[in-house]
Chains A and B, each alone.
Chain A
Amino acid sequence: MESKFPASTLAFVAERAPQAIRTPPGRHPLPREFITQHQRARIIAALAEETVEKGYRAVTVADIVRRAGIARNTFYENFSSKEDCFLAASEFAVKEALRRVVDAASKVDTWPARVNAGLAAFLHYVASEPALARTCIVEALSAGPAAVDRYERSIQAFVPLFRMGRKISAKGEELPGTLEETIVGGIFWIIYQRIIMGQTEQIEELLSELVEFSLTPYIGAEAAKRTAAEAPPTPAS
């Protein structure tokens, strides 16, 4: 998997959208707005690329417009502000990641195997979209109050998937209330660190460690290690 940083975002959002139209029904098509509003996708891709280069706060609407090759008016027809556009980018990325995770997890039976398969799909997505990942994970922790809402919303999107583990844990009721936030936040942080270190190509190699980290509180270290040692189904792109 090549690390086309940051051009891949544009490739993904802009090129994938038309393909999605041809996707047969039932295969989780991309969100409607990305199918019907090609422009929105291009703008979001431009935002992600600009953000990687300059950091969220330094990016202006003018930068985005220039990178996307659109008129300023077109930007404002789609988004009310840079913040609005950022929010849409983040929502898109979270939805898409969640779709891939749920899709991968539904192919296996037990909860630990689902975590394994879901995380594999998640890491695969991040590795293929480093600019978008950086925009949503890294910048969320440095862009002030509104960004914090996004960061927490991204985390909360994945929390229920882990919370299910409490049902199979002997101590499920007693576990710390923010355990799932810690697991998801920890995974985000590790990914952030790898992106910063220029190790996007190796993100998928983190799978077994992160699976063990996520499962240990629910099923104990031994069982977590066993699941982590199993190869999950190859993530579909």
Chain B
Amino acid sequence: MSSVDPDRVILDPRFAPPFPQAALPVLRNPQLRKNVAHAIDVIQGKRGKLVAEKTDWQTLRAAASDLRTHVLENLGEYLVQFEERCTAAGGVVHWAADAAEARSIILDLLRQENANEVIKIKTMTSAEIQLNPFLEANGVNVFETDLAEIILQLGEEEPSHIVVPALHVNRSQVREIFARRMGLKNLSDDPKELTNAARTYLRQKFLTIPTAIGGANSLIAETGSVAVVESEGNGRMCLTLPRTLITLAGIEKVIPRFHDLEVILQLLARSATGERMNPYTSLWTGVVPGDGPQKFHVVLLDNGRSSILAKPKQRQTLKCIRCAACMNACPVYRQTGGHAYGSVYPGPIGAILTPQLMNMQHAQSLPFASSLCGACYEVCPVKINIPEVLLELRSQVVNQERKQAGRIFDPLDLGLRIANFLFAGAGRFHAAQRMGRIGARLFTRKDGWIHSLPSVGAKWTQTRDLRGLPPQNFHEWWAARRKEAK
């Protein structure tokens, strides 16, 4: 007997169950579905209003899309430029080929600082490389400082969204977690009181822990500066108070110039949280004497990104600015929430990014976790054609499966090969139709419908009826009509 909870959330694509299976716990949990739907309705409502008031929304999207494409086409030059300018400004730039290297670079830096505690700004990239468990295992206490991340960390929960990672947890669950972990028995479930509890819990940590880890929304090649957007001020605390700051960023995060932020910033907050602007944006350049951390490290992470870059149809995945508009718009995400994706990147962007980061060796069910309705493409501020990439990845997954031994006798494969043969010639097609009509007669009831088919066909008729084939098809009807006219 295994004691492992079958509903346990696993966000490591190497071990997570396939999407349809991982979605079941959420689909069985009405409270969770209610929490997810409520959060998404609120964000979507706000986003819709603010996007509608922006008359130049589509031209901004076009500008952002072209800007991000341009960066990716010239990524090597912009990265080198960023490195040069950041270094000149007193920063130290590190390059990490994969997650393991990034983790060990960061641990080495912490050891040099004798840091056994670290405060953290929310960064999905650190979740991607599973930094926290690694640091904890190596004796470093990690304190997340974003409210949602505290909820997850103290509640031993997993993130289910990239902007509001605790959207699946409601206020009474937060109350329970905080009361238990902060020792506050009389805490109410008023969000204001809960937020205050987090403020108090973190204040001393901000003031005393001298090392911070964060991410980046943009790396600016022209200046070597880094920009971080946030709401709570926890980011500013981590970027300002510590002696040492370590920034972890994917190599795709570069933008050419400072004023390119005018494009990104106008799109990001509106898309992410439905605000005209997020409360705080911080920008800093290397080390500024007398203001903020006097030691600054940037870890540039590849971890599969350069191989995505090499594939022309898939490259657009890297344009992403992590706003989460795609998951908020997605009818599948709305039903399943984020955990079903078995990755720290859920939703449509996760469905294309995760399998690619895994070099198509894991998470192959994700490209199929979509109705291809295109809502994600429509809202994407940098115009990533997610359905196009989904289709491309689906075909790769199918080709992978086809290569597996034994696939040649797979009923679906066999059926499709036969269909391919029949549909390729008019004579064959008509003959098949005549045969089919005779065969279908066996199963068609008096009402003209097929209610159940045997064997593989049952998979269809289990959940729906099939209309019986008409006695005459269009071609036959047309030919007969012309004959009569003569």
A joins B in a complex: no
Interface residues, chain A, CB within 8 Å of chain B? none
Interface residues, chain B, CB within 8 Å of chain A? none
